[in-house]
């Protein structure tokens, strides 16, 4: 989702090649022999791997379009910090909400999902983390919105709550409705079904091992 949103922001036409669940293509192995995972951006027959790195690459190569990373060096560092936080802290804790063995563990995982303060700090009162328009942190965090909504269905927990995270609730509505985003974010129902499929696959693999 992240590279696609970035390409949409830059108004760059691209071909989207989707991998089939449960298998990996020769193109994937050839393009990313180290990690053997997607997403991968192929530009001029050269691969660029890892979603946040791809977004930065897109921002640099198609520099004539709207900027994704801030112009100020300190602001760029802050944006990279929070984008890394989403992947290293927020996402694992979000998964913890689903895998929690008790209500106490679930509530503890939810309590670790802190982004409201970051939104207030980084956005400086504007609509997005990137200010008046979608930026690097918006893309990194916004790509999790589909899963956040799916978890609400699966675990009965609202990760974005009108009382506890009013700023993020408004941000999520505006982000999801943006033309660069609205056709990219998956529906929560589809992710719920995908989660069930993934769970069934892991159980089958565990039973056969």
Residue 198 above 80 pLDDT? no
Of 69, 47, 50, the residue nearest 59 (C-alpha): 69
Longest dimension (CA), the chain: 53
**What is the per-residue pLDDT for 10?**
98
pLDDT band at 106 (very low <50, low <70, confident <90, very high): confident
SS3 185: coil
Of 46, 9, 30, 22, the residue nearest 128 (C-alpha): 9
**What is the per-residue pLDDT for 105?**
86
Neighbouring CB atoms inside 10 A of 69's CB total: 18
Contact call for residues 36 and 28 (beta carbons, < 8 A): yes
**For 46-56, how does the pLDDT look when each residue is reduced to its tens digit (9 = 90+)?**
999 999 999 99
The reported pTM is: 0.90
pLDDT band at 195 (very low <50, low <70, confident <90, very high): confident
Burial of 36 (0-12, 13-18, 19+ CB in 10 A): exposed
**For 166-178, how does the pLDDT look when each residue is reduced to its tens digit (9 = 90+)?**
999 999 999 999 9
Assigned token pair, 19? 């991998």
Residue 188 per-residue DSSP state: H
pLDDT band at 207 (very low <50, low <70, confident <90, very high): low
Contacts of 62 (CB under 8 A, 6+ apart): 10, 12
């Amino acid at each position: 989702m992240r590279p696609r949103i970035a390409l949409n922001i830059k108004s760059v036409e691209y071909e989207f090649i989707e991998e089939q669940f449960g298998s990996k293509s020769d193109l994937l192995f050839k393009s990313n022999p180290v990690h053997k995972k997607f997403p991968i951006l192929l530009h001029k027959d050269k691969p660029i791997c890892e979603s946040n790195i791809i977004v930065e690459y897109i921002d640099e190569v198609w520099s004539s379009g709207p900027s994704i990373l801030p112009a100020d060096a300190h602001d760029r560092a802050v944006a990279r910090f929070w984008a890394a936080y989403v992947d290293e802290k927020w996402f694992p804790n979000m998964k913890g909400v689903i895998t929690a063995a008790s209500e106490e563990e679930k509530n503890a995982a939810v309590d670790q999902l802190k982004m409201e303060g970051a939104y207030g700090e980084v956005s400086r009162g504007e609509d997005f983390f990137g200010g008046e328009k979608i930026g690097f942190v918006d893309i990194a965090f916004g790509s999790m919105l589909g899963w956040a909504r799916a978890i609400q269905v699966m675990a009965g927990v609202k990760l974005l709550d009108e009382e506890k995270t009013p700023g993020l609730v408004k941000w999520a509505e505006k982000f999801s409705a943006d033309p660069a985003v609205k056709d990219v974010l998956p529906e929560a129902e589809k992710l719920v079904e995908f989660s069930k499929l993934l769970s069934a696959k892991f159980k089958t693999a565990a039973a056969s091992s």
